[in-house]
Structure 1
Amino acid sequence: MQTVEPFTRIYQRACERKGGALALEALLSNCASAEDIAVIPDNLLLGELTKKVFQSGFVWRVVRQKWPGFCDVFFDFNIEKILLMSDEMLEEKARDVRIIRNANKVFTVRHNALMIHDLALEHGSFARFIANWPTENIIGLWAYLKQHGARLGGNTGPYALRAIGKDTFILSSDVEAYLRATKVFDGGINSKRSLAQIQQQFNVWQQQSNRSLQQISQIIAFSVGDNYVGMLQ
């Protein structure tokens, strides 16, 4: 596989692997509208960022199981209350058995609350800032979260955006392998040059398919790798 395929070919291969078009479509998920994202309370968005930070490099299931404890410990992620927390209070929270006791990640809650607070002052809400960001430059939003937030680099920021409904592709291992094999990029996957090349190609596929970035990346993942759901082997 040496050249980039038109999206119709990728889609056809995904259909073959998943047992047909109907089976494939049933596996795809939809992103939210900008209007729906814009009205999400900022405390819920901080919660999603925090969840993805704690899930990074950890067992996601355990974080989900402990999530009610996280909400109790961090006041349902009330931005104003969290910004008033001192280092000593955060250190105490990091010892609370109701959450995953990782002090470095606990401190990100206040850091990301401050980012959200500052953006809310400028844009009316963090949700509105996210909703209005153009998806044709979604990597720019990734970069912003990485630069101004805490522990939101790599796939953590994109996974958080996906969780709140923002249209974004995810550079999963399957997607990365396909993009590298077809020479969409040839450097480090997180370099500015590589991400720009990947964004450009996703924009082309979006024009070809009229689908969301989210569904395009899902279809790519389903078109490669050992995932023959719904097929006789």
Structure 2
Amino acid sequence: MMSYAESFAVIFHRAAERKGGKAALQALLSKPRTAVQLSQLTDAECLSEFSKKIFQSGFVWSVVEKKWPGFEELFFGFEPEKMLLMSDEMLAAKATDPRIIRNATKVFAIRDNALMIQQVADQYGSFGAFLAQWPGEDIIGLWGYLKKQGSRLGGNTGAYALRMLGKDTFIISQDLEAYLRNFGVVEGGLTSQKNQKAIQQQFNLWQQESGLSLQEISKVVAFSFGDNHVGLKM
């Protein structure tokens, strides 16, 4: 497989033209949290965001957002220690509560991910500290960790949760995938080890060239290619 990906300077210039100029493009970008800021995240905040993205997967995001105060109330603010004390019977009962979106499989995933977070916190002090030390040069490795050690955090679910928590990551949106395929960075299934490695290497090259975060690069590349609109979440 031969990659003909453009330099980031070319990509940035095209994205700026499509979005109304450099200043307009930069206004659409945002930076991730710093390592210090990530370290200050509580384990409850991390579990809440993972859980929210699981419930938003395959569902209308705005509906989940409106119901989230009910989730926070019903699941004790997503404190991992409290979630781990809940029996199967308690979780099953909560899965029928009208204050939340009733999906038993996703409800049980909350406790599974509470265990993952607790185990990580025991080793690193907090899940936020764990995220802070994970190198951006292997962000796909972090995706893999969440998929393997967590529950229902594969695909873009884990990546979107990381983005919302402030961990620097790219997101493989439809437009970004279209770019990667068009320029030969990937072919076939995106989840193959070969393609995952190729995507990470390409982003590492763009980051070395631009000095921007993975988050900013991800958005710029997506804005430069395919059908997208100003302000689209990526």
Shorter-chain TM-score: what band?
over 0.9
Distance (Å, rounded) in 1 between the aligned partners of 2:57 and 2:77? 21
Counterpart amino acid of residue 205 in structure 2: V
Shift of 1:186: 1.3
User: Which amino acid in 1 is paired with 2:166?
Assistant: G
Q: 5+ unaligned residues in a row in structure 1: which ranges?
A: none
Tell me the amino acid that sits aligned with residue 146 of structure 1.
Answer: K
> Structure 2 CA distance, aligned partners of 1:81 and 1:54?
20
How far residue 228 of structure 1 moved from its aligned partner, in angstroms, is: 5.8
Matches within 5 A, 1:99-110: 99-110=100-111
Partner of 2:99: 98
Q: Secondary structure at the match of 1:155?
A: helix
Residue 81 to residue 228, structure 1, CA distance change in 2 (3 Å): closer
Q: Does 1:52 align with 2:63?
A: no
Q: Which runs of 5+ in 2 are unaligned?
A: none
Q: Give aligned pairs, total.
A: 229
CA–CA separation in structure 2 for the residues paired with 1:171 and 1:211: 17
Q: Distance in 2 between the 1:226 and 1:175 partners?
A: 11
Per the alignment, do residues 227 and 187 of structure 1 end up closer, same or farther by CA in structure 2, a change over 3 Å counting? Answer: closer
Counterpart contact for 2:175–2:227, Cα < 8 Å: no
Alpha-carbon distance in structure 2 between the residues aligned to 1:54 and 1:175: 24
8 Å Cα contact 1:170/1:217 also seen in 2: yes
- Change in CA separation of 1:43 and 1:181 when aligned onto 2, cut-off 3 Å: same
Give runs of ≥4 in structure 1 deviating > 2 Å: 226-230
Q: What corresponds to 2:145 in structure 1?
A: 144
1:124-145 Cα distance to aligned partner (Å, 9 max, x none): 1111111110000000100000
The residue aligned with 1:164 is 165
1:220 matched to 2:221? The reply is yes
Matching residue of 1:126: 127
Query: Normalization by structure 2: what TM-score?
Result: 0.96
What's the TM-score once normalised by structure 1's chain length?
Answer: 0.96
Structure 2 counterpart SS, 1:176: helix
**Structure 2 counterpart of 1:171, which letter?**
I
Identical-pair percentage = 59
Q: Is the 8 A contact 1:17 1:227 kept in 2?
A: no
How do 1:180-219 and structure 2 match up within 5 A?
Answer: 180-219=181-220
Which position in structure 2 is the counterpart of 1:69?
70
